[in-house]
Chain A
Amino acid sequence: MSGWIALSNITVRFGALTAVDAVSLDVDKGEIHAVVGENGAGKSTIMNVLFGLLVPDEGTIAIGGTPHAWKTPQDAIAHGIGMVHQHFMLQDSMTVLENVVLCAEPVNRLGIVDFATARAKLEDIIATYGIRSRLDARVADLSVSERQVVEILKVLYREAEVLILDEPTAVLTPQETRSLFEILANFKAAGKAIVIITHKLDEVMEVADTVSVMRGGRLVSSGPREATSKDEIARGIIGGDLPAPRARGPYAPGAPVLKVTDLVARGEGRPVGPVSLEVRKGEIVGVAAVAGNGQAELIETIVGLRRSAGGTVSLDGQDLAGKDVAARRALGLSYIPTDRQRVGLALEARVSENALIGREMESRFRRGLFQIGSQIDAFAREVIARYRIKVAGPRAKTSSMSGGNKQKLVVGRELSRETPLVIAENPTWGVDIGAIDFIHGELVRMRDAGHAILLVSTEIDEILALSDRIVVMFEGRITGSFAASDADRFEIGALMTSHGSGGIQTRDAS
C-alpha cells in the first residue's frame, strides 16, 4: 500500500556517487515521520527531491495518487510542500512579515505588496497553531529559535500540507525543542504531514509516529515507532552494534593551565564579558551556550584572533597579553574552530598542506628556503592513518573530502601537536556518528593523558557526555557553573536562555 505522498524508487547520482539509491518512502497526513541516518546517508538529499531542489535521476513522486515531476521548488510549493532548512534562508535586514511574504507576495496589479492582507492571514495562522512571533521585528534581532519559527511561518503561509524540517532541533535548547514539538503536535492534529530529518534518537522516540532509517543512500527500515526500539534504530543507522560506552580515567585535575580573569571581548554590538574561568590539567571544561551568546568572541579572544577589551588570559602562568596567534600556539595552545571551511582549513590547498599548517618552519620539513615534499607527505600520511581520515592521499584537494573527514583532518592536525591546552569549538558540528565517536574518544584520551581541554558546544548532549565541569553562558556572561555529576540538562537549558534567578548559579563540587 502507498501513503498520501509516495516516493517510489528515487535514485539521485552526483557524478559517480549514488547519494540516494532506489528509495521508496510513504508519508501520510496526520503523522510525524522521522527520517534518521548518519550524515551522508542521503536523508537531506531525498527531502531535497521531495521539495524540488533536486531532480531525481530515477523514480517518481506521487501525491494522493497523482504522479508529479517538479523541476523547481516553486512546483513543490504549489502542491503544498514546504521545507524548513537546516541553515535558515532568511533576510536579516527584513522584518518577520517581509520575510514570510517574500516570494509569495500578495500583490495588486502594480506589484505593490498588500501587507495588510498578509498580516491578517499570518495572525490567523499564529492564533490557530499557538505560535508566538513578533511580525514587525527585524530578523537580525531574533534568537535562533525565533528565526526557526519564522521559517515555519513561511511554510504555513504558503498553505503547505507537508512540512519538511531538516535537523530542526540542532540549534535549540531543550525548552525550545519542547515548544517546537508542541507546535508540531498541533499541525499533526490539523491533519498535516510532518517529516523531520534528525539524528537525535531520543526525540524520534518522543514525537515520531513512523521512523525510516537510511544508511549509505538506501532505506534500511521504515515502520511505526511502536514496532521498533531505540537500540534497533541505532543499529540500523550505523549498520552494526553500538560502540561500547567510553571508558575514561578518574577525574584528577592538576595545576591550572588556562586562566581567564575578567576577560572582556570586543563583540559585534556590545562587548562580551567579563568572564572568568579556569581549565586544569586532566579535565574537560564544557561551555554550554546557544549560538551567538558570546562564546565565539570569548574563544577568539583567548586564541588571539580578536583583541581583548580588558582582563587577562594566562597559559601555564604566562600572560598572553600582546601575543599574536602564532606566539600563543607556540606557547602550547591548539584550536579546533567551529568553521572548518573558512577558519580551520584552506579548502583549495592539498590535504598535506593543511596537515602541515603551523609546522612549516620545523627543520624536518625544510631544506633552506624550500619545503621537502616527501617529508610533508609522509607526515600527512601519518595523520591520515592515525586519525582514520578517508581521502585519496596526501596530495588530494582538501575540498574533495566529506565534512566529517575535513573535521577529522583539523582535529588530527591540532591534537597531534600534543599541546598542554586544547580548545575545541563545536568539534563535531555536522559530522556523522562514527566520526563523532572518534573525535570524542580522542578528546577523552587527551584528557586522560593530562592535557587541559576547553570544549565549547551548542549541543547539550555533547557537553554532558564529555565534560568534567560545565559552564553556561548567556548573553556574554557566565550564568552558571556545575560539576558534571550535578548537572541537570533542563537546568542547563534554562540557564542557556535566561540569567537564571538571583545571579550566578554555582554548584561546584571542588
Chain B
Amino acid sequence: MIALDVLLDPALLQSIPRFLTPILLAALGGALCERAGVFNIGLEGFILTGAFCAVLGAFFFGSPVMGAISAMAGGVLMALIFAEFHLRRPGDPIVVSIAINLLAAGLTLYLLSAIFGVTGAFRDPGIQGFAMIHIPVVRDIPVIGQLFSGQSPLYYIALVVAVAMHFFFRFHRLGLRMRAAGENPQGLVVGGVDPRIVRLYALVACGMLCGLAGAQLSIANVTLFVDNMSAGRGWIAVVAVLLTRGNPLAVLGIALVFGFVDSLSFRVQGYGAPQQFTDMMPYLATLAVLIGLSFWRKTRQTRA
C-alpha cells in the first residue's frame, strides 16, 4: 500500500500549498481578465516580473512585505503596458501577451546582471523571505493542520481572494460591470460606462495578483531568483482560467488539483521514479482534466 502511504504523507500535504499558491493567485488574476473580456495569456510574464521585483524589494528594503509590494508594483507595470497596447491602442491581445512574456523573460535576465551583477541566479542572505505562519490548535489537527498551518501568508491571502472574488462578481458594482464588459460591453456603453476603464481595473488587479504569485515563488517557497523562475505556471493558470471560464471557486478547485499533482510528483521522485516522468505529471493532469471536462460537457449537452 505504497499509494496510500504517499497520499497521507504529512510532508506531501504540507507541500501542497506551496505549489498551489502561485497558480491560484495568477489564475485568480486571469479570472478577472477573462470575466471582463480581456484575453490575457501574458500571466507568465506578469509572474516572472513579480518574482524578480519581489527579490528586489525584499533585498533592498530588507522586508518580505516590501518585497510583496514591489512584486505587485512590477505586475501592475506589466499590466499597464498590456493596457496601453490592448485597451488604448487596438493591439491584438494574443500578440500583446506574447510580447509581454518575451519582454519579462529578457528584462529580468538583463536587470539581474545590471543590478546584481550575476547571471542565471541571485541568492543572498540579505533577501528577507516570508516566515511561515503557524496557527496554534489548528496545527495539531491531522491533515487540516498540514494543509492550513505552517504556510506562507500569501497562501492565506490567495484563499481569501478566491472566496471574496466569488462574492465580488455577484454583489459588487465593479464585479457586475466586469461581467458585463466580458459579455455585452455595448450594454455598458449605453449605460454611460466605458468598458475599457472596467477592463483596466481588471488588468491592474490581475497584475497585482500575478505579482504576488511571483513573490510566493521567489520570497516564500525559496529566497532567491533564478532565470525563468515562473517555469510555465502562468500557462497552467491560463488553462485553469479557460477551463473554468473565470469562475473563482472553480479556479480554486483546479489549483488544488494542480498543487496536489505538483507536490505528488515531487514525492514520487523520492520513491525512485525518473525525474523526466515526474516533471510531466502536472501537464498530464492538465490534459486529463481537459479531456474529462470536455467529455463531461458533451454528455451534459446531449442529455439536455
Contact = CB atoms under 8 A, between A and B. Distances in A.
B183 to A, nearest CB: 5
B192 A115 contact: no
A111 B171 CA distance: 9
B167 to A, nearest CB: 9
Nearest to A114: B171
Interface string B11-40: 000000000000000000000000000000
B177 A103 contact: yes
B190 A73 contact: yes
Interface residues of A, number: 31
B190 A53 contact: yes
Nearest to A115: B171
Nearest to B188: A103
A208 to B, nearest CB: 25
A90 interface: yes
A74 B192 contact: yes
A74 B191 CA distance: 7
Interface string B236-249: 00000000000000
A27 to B, nearest CB: 20
Interface stretch (A91-99, A386-394, A458-466, A487-495): A91-99
Interface string B184-196: 1011111111000
Contacts of B189: 53, 73, 89
A270 interface: yes
B190 A85 contact: yes
A112 B172 contact: yes
Contacts of B173: 105, 107, 111-113
B192 A269 contact: no
Interface string B148-188: 00000000000000000000000111101101100110111
A269 to B, nearest CB: 6
B190 A89 contact: yes
Contacts of A51: 190
Do most interface residues of chain A lie in helix, strand or loop, or is the interface mixed? loop
Contact of A89 (B171, B177, B179, B184): B184
B304 interface: yes
B186 A102 contact: no
Given A112-B172, A269-B304, A270-B304, A89 B192 contact: no
Contacts of A92: 183-184
Contacts of B190: 51, 53, 73, 83, 85, 89
Contacts of A73: 189-192
Interface residues of B, number: 19
B179 to A, nearest CB: 7
A83 B191 CA distance: 10
A111 B188 contact: no
B184 A90 contact: yes
Interface in B181-231: 183-184, 186-193
A72 interface: yes
Contacts of B183: 91-94
A355 interface: no
Nearest to B180: A91
B241 to A, nearest CB: 17
Interface string A448-469: 0000000000000000000000
Contacts of A72: 192
Interface string A64-79: 0000000011110100
A326 interface: no
B179 A111 contact: no
A104 interface: yes
Contacts of B192: 52, 72-75, 77, 103
A285 B174 CA distance: 50
Interface in A389-417: none
A99 B190 CA distance: 12
Interface string A50-69: 01110000000000000000
A52 B192 CA distance: 9
Given A72-B192, A91-B180, A269-B304, A102 B172 contact: no
Contact of B187 (A102, A104, A105): A102
Nearest to A267: B304
B171 A102 contact: no
Contacts of A94: 176, 179-180, 183
A415 to B, nearest CB: 34
Interface in A36-56: 51-53
Given A73-B192, A74-B192, A269-B304, A113 B176 contact: yes
Contacts of A104: 191
A94 B179 CA distance: 9
Interface in A431-446: none
B187 A112 contact: no
Nearest to A103: B191
Nearest to B190: A89
A77 B191 CA distance: 8
B176 A90 contact: no
Contact of B174 (A74, A83, A111): A111
Of B172, B177, B186, B187, chain A has the most CB atoms within 10 Å of the CB of B187
5 contacts: A52-B192, A85-B190, A91-B183, A91-B184, A93-B179
Given A73-B191, A89-B191, A94-B179, 4 more contacts: A85-B190, A98-B176, A102-B180, A103-B193
Interface of A: 51-53, 72-75, 77, 83, 85, 89-94, 98-99, 101-105, 107, 110-113, 115, 269-270
Closest 6 CB pairs of A and B: A103-B191, A74-B192, A89-B187, A73-B192, A105-B173, A111-B173
